[in-house]
Amino acid sequence: MTDLNGKTALITGASSGFGADFAHILAEKGMNLIVTARRVEKLNALKTGIEEKYGVKVRVIAMDLTGFDAAQKLYAEVKNENIDMLVNNAGYGMYDWFERQSAGDLDKMVQLNVVSAMTLANLFVKDFAAKNSGWILNTASFAAFNPTPFYAVYGATKAFLMNFSVALRTEMKKSGKNVAVTAFCPGFTATEFVQTAGQKRSSFLEKTIGKSYPAAVEAVSALLKNKPVVMPRFMNRLGAFCLRFMPRSLAAGAAFASIKKTD
């Protein structure tokens, strides 16, 4: 069993949802935390609750991680903290017809979902490789497996993260480095994601949406076992398996029908 007691994890997007779940799960395992997001009030509340419950140290960094420079600034601020685990969880989706979306808004999403996560992984993997120890968990999505209308760009960012994670894990493994990399690919989950993305909860969503904490537990377990991809819930795994045998156009059509906009 992996002993994480006294080690330090950096969690981005930690103010709610999976990020807050990861904070509780890792704190329970004895890890000290550095948590970052934009909403400092939520981070401070998380810090207070975790320190009182688990007796670990929690440092709060309120920061917008959009883009390369922001990720570099975060790394510069924590590089001397001897980080053992990076949880790249910051990200969001935008739900709409692509033609109605703003290129500027899409760019910000890509900067956060892709550029920031990739940059942090690049900076920290050097440290992890040098000490031959470390863990990187990248939050991707079920959308990584399927062209997803109305989430066209979001799904593409998550496909990047999944493929990037598996490739990086392979590099570490083939080079003999003891650095674990896992892509976490949940399906629709009861977090703030749907509301933030601007999607209304349809009857399909209500029937299929999952709980976040058990999924986060599964993700951490998979990371500690250095699994390449973790997808919580049998229905999601079955769906991803079936997608292997479907033409992409048919899969995209099915996704369109299941989450289509009514306007």
Nearest by Cα to 209 from 226, 186, 181: 186
Per-residue pLDDT of the chain in tens (263 residues, 90 and over written 9): 789 999 999 999 999 899 999 999 999 999 999 999 999 999 999 999 999 999 999 999 999 999 789 999 999 999 999 999 999 999 998 999 999 999 999 999 999 999 999 999 999 999 999 999 999 999 999 887 888 888 899 999 999 999 999 999 999 999 999 999 999 998 665 555 556 655 665 565 555 666 889 999 999 999 999 999 998 765 555 555 555 756 767 666 665 556 675 55
Nearest by Cα to 25 from 165, 215, 187, 230: 215
The correct answer on CATH 3.40.50.720 for the domain covering 8-259 is yes
Active site residue 154: yes
Nearest by Cα to 258 from 185, 188, 196: 188
Identify whether the C-beta of residue 98 lies closer than 8 Å to the C-beta of residue 147.
Answer: no
Identify whether the C-beta of residue 117 lies closer than 8 Å to the C-beta of residue 75.
Answer: no
Spot the catalytic one: 54, 92, 154, 213.
154
**Beta-carbon count within 10 A of 74 CB:** 21
72-130, pLDDT tens digit by residue?
A: 999 999 999 999 999 999 999 899 999 999 999 999 999 999 999 999 999 999 999 99
Alpha-carbon distance of 109 to 52, in angstroms, equals: 34
DSSP character string of 64-112: ---SHHHHHHHHHHHGGG---EEEE-------S-GGGS-HHHHHHHHII
Alpha-carbon distance of 230 to 162, in angstroms, equals: 10
Identify whether the C-beta of residue 95 lies closer than 8 Å to the C-beta of residue 199.
Answer: yes
Q: For the purposes of burial, counting CB atoms within 10 Å of the CB of 253, is it exposed (0-12), middle (13-18) or buried (19 or more)? A: middle
Bridge partners of 180, per DSSP, are 135
Domain ranges within the chain, ordered by starting residue: 8-259
Alpha-carbon distance of 105 to 71, in angstroms, equals: 19
> Sheet holding 32-37: strands in order across?
58-62, 32-37, 8-12, 85-88, 134-139, 179-184, 229-230
**106-140 burial, b if ≥16 CB within 10 A, otherwise e?**
bebbbbbbbbbbbbbbebbbebbbeeeebbbbbbb
Q: What is the pLDDT of residue 145?
A: 81
Q: What is the pLDDT of residue 234?
A: 52
Bridge partners of 61, per DSSP, are 36
Q: What is the pTM of this model?
A: 0.87
